């Protein structure tokens, strides 16, 4: 460094002022670096030579060489700290985006509570019609693989997740603003159905993009600083959605008695608008998402998806999981009418029941992340399925009046047991989503996770239609619930059936880290 300073001072062209300015700048920079980095007493240029006891002469490292080594180490450490700070900022932006996205997914129960009461009290639909509408409105969810293929294949301004999240939020906002702008007297069954379909179309697009981000981050190779936080993203998403569900049901139970349905629809539309503007303000590059190895068109992505779905370790757990929902007749509309019409349960109690259920979901997400991740998915999912059947038998006892006779109020049972039973259906979704994120090959995270979610959506629709058929078979109406106990026992028996082929769920999945098969 001393030689460099001498060169700058002694080997110049005195006739060139600009060159002297450049040299002066270099000298000032290096001098400042030395002065501010080290004490003045350390600035020496000699090389210290010492003699050992055996007479050998050893050249000690000069202070200038020590300074150079310290400068190198300091620069390296500062670079590492900057990279760590940048990664922390990227994780923060990613967490904010996913947190808001999944929170909004959970908060969707807020306007849907208003929809259910509006259909019952405003349009006076019967239980079967209510359940058919609830399930038919989920038809856009079945097309999730198509949205996943689009997200994987088509980039918009160099981004393939953020634009789809923004588009989905926009479609939802249009849907709910449209319903809110119509007078209650002019809303027909057809009108509300079309708007609910549009809203669920937007919601499904958002869910596909969010699930793809989670799956992509979960596949980051182990060993880097982001790996541990990325592996916790499924649980983080679950907790964010549960918090949204808690707040949505709590506010919904309060708002349904104080505000009109249109006001609730308007409020949710405003929240969606805020989500839209926040999303478009985020640049996808700032999230540091893993680079996709597949940049093929939609046809190639579709063929890749079909190739992946041929693998037994992929199609077997998906088929089991979808069948475990589809085979169970859903009686949600019937139970809603039984609780409100027959038992005269107030809407605030129903709201508290849903809040308790969402709190249970939130607790489940935390407990799973801390305690249950190491349990094989087959064992954990099978236990949840068995508990689900037990609580359905408990529901049949509730309908027969058993708990009322032993002194347990109906409202208390509805809040705690019914609240847990309603969300227990979704408990097995968390370990299953973690399982599929590990099994999913790189490059088709969006399309495969979308296929999984669409399979579940289709299974719920089939379950709802079978439930309507079962309610008709046992002759349940909005005033006659004598056949409800029999229907609940049939429902419990159907829940046990999938346990006989639970071997379709792998015990310990192997993480896919290579390329897809060509």
Q: Is 190 helix (H, G, I), strand (E, B) or coil?
A: helix
Q: Which two tokens stand for residue 268?
A: 């949710």
pTM summary value: 0.73
Distance between start and end Cα atoms, the chain: 56
Percent of the chain with pLDDT over 70: 77
Q: Does 29 have pLDDT greater than 80?
A: no
Confidence (pLDDT) at 14: 42
Confidence (pLDDT) at 347: 85
Which residue segments constitute the domains of the chain, with CATH numbers given? Answer: 87-504 (1.20.1250.20)
Overall average pLDDT of the 210-228 stretch: 66
Confidence (pLDDT) at 490: 98
Confidence (pLDDT) at 234: 81
Q: Does 462 have pLDDT greater than 80?
A: yes
Overall average pLDDT of the 217-237 stretch: 62
Q: Does 407 have pLDDT greater than 90?
A: yes
| Residue position matching structure tokens 């708007």 | 195
Q: CA 430, 432, 335 angle in degrees (round to 5)?
A: 65
C-alpha 497/C-alpha 430 separation (Å) is: 21
Residues 493-502 have pLDDT tens digits of 999 999 999 9
Q: Does 376 have pLDDT greater than 70?
A: yes
Percent of the chain with pLDDT over 90: 50
Overall average pLDDT of the 254-275 stretch: 95
Higher-pLDDT residue of 14 and 326 is 326
Q: Does 223 have pLDDT greater than 60?
A: no
86-91's contacts with Cβ under 8 Å and 24+ in sequence apart are 87/225, 87/226, 87/288, 89/286, 90/226, 90/286, 90/287, 90/288, 91/226, 91/229
Q: Is 11 helix (H, G, I), strand (E, B) or coil?
A: coil
Residues 241-262 have pLDDT tens digits of 989 998 999 999 899 989 999 9
The alpha helices in 232-296, defined as continuous H runs, are 233-258, 261-280
Q: Does 106 have pLDDT greater than 90?
A: yes
Q: Which two tokens stand for residue 127?
A: 């239980």
H-helix or E-strand spanning residue 322 = helix 312-326
C-alpha 432/C-alpha 504 separation (Å) is: 12
Task: Write down the number of H helices and E strands in the chain.
Answer: 23, 2
Residue (of 389, 378, 415) closest to 494 by Cα position: 389
Residue (of 306, 289, 128) closest to 212 by Cα position: 289
C-alpha 357/C-alpha 246 separation (Å) is: 8
C-alpha 161/C-alpha 451 separation (Å) is: 17
Q: Does 446 have pLDDT greater than 90?
A: no
């Amino acid at each position: 460094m001393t030689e460099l300073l001498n060169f700058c001072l002694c080997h110049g062209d005195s006739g060139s002022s600009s060159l002297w300015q450049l040299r002066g700048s270099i000298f000032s920079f290096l001098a400042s670096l030395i002065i501010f980095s080290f004490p003045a007493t350390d600035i020496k240029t000699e090389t210290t030579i010492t003699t050992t006891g055996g007479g050998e002469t050893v050249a000690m490292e000069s202070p200038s060489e020590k300074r150079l080594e310290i400068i190198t180490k300091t620069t390296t450490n500062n670079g590492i700290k900057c990279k760590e700070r940048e990664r922390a900022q990227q994780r923060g932006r990613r967490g904010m985006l996913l947190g808001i996205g999944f929170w909004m997914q959970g908060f969707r129960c807020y306007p849907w509570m208003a929809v259910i009461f509006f259909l019952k009290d405003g349009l006076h639909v019967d239980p079967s019609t209510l359940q058919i509408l609830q399930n038919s409105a989920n038809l856009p969810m079945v097309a999730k693989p198509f949205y996943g293929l689009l997200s994987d294949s088509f980039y918009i301004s160099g981004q393939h997740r953020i634009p789809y999240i923004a588009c989905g939020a926009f479609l939802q906002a249009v849907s709910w603003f449209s319903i809110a702008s119509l007078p209650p007297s002019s809303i027909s069954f057809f009108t509300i159905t079309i708007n609910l379909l549009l809203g669920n179309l937007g919601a499904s697009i958002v869910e596909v993009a969010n699930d793809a981000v989670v799956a992509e981050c979960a596949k980051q190779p182990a060993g880097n600083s982001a790996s541990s936080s990325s592996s916790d993203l499924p649980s983080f998403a679950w907790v964010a959605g549960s918090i949204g569900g808690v707040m949505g049901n709590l506010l919904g139970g309060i708002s349904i008695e104080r505000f009109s349905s249109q006001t609730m629809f308007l409020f949710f539309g405003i929240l969606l608008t805020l989500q839209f503007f926040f999303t478009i303000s985020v640049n996808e590059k700032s999230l540091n998402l893993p680079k996709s190895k597949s940049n093929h068109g939609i046809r190639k992505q579709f063929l890749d998806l079909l190739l992946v779905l041929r693998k037994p370790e992929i199609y077997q757990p998906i088929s089991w999981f979808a069948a475990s929902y589809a085979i169970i007749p859903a009686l949600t509309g019937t139970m809603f009418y039984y609780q409100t019409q027959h038992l005269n349960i107030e809407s605030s109690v129903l709201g508290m029941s849903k809040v308790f259920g969402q709190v249970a979901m939130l607790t489940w997400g935390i407990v799973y992340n801390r305690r249950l991740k190491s349990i094989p998915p087959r064992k954990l999912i099978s236990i949840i399925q068995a508990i689900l059947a037990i609580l359905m038998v408990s529901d049949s006892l509730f309908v027969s009046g058993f708990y009322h006779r032993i002194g347990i109020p109906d409202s208390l049972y509805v809040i705690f047991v019914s609240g847990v039973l309603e969300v227990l259906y979704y408990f097995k979704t968390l370990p299953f989503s973690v399982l599929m994120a590990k099994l999913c090959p790189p490059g088709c995270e969006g399309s495969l996770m979308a296929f999984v979610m669409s399979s579940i959506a289709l299974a719920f629709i089939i379950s709802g239609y079978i439930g309507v058929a079962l309610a008709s078979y046992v002759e349940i109406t909005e005033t006659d619930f004598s056949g409800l106990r029999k229907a609940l026992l049939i429902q419990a028996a159907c829940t046990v059936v999938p346990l006989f082929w639970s071997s379709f769920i792998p015990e310990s999945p192997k993480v896919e880290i290579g390329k897809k098969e060509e």
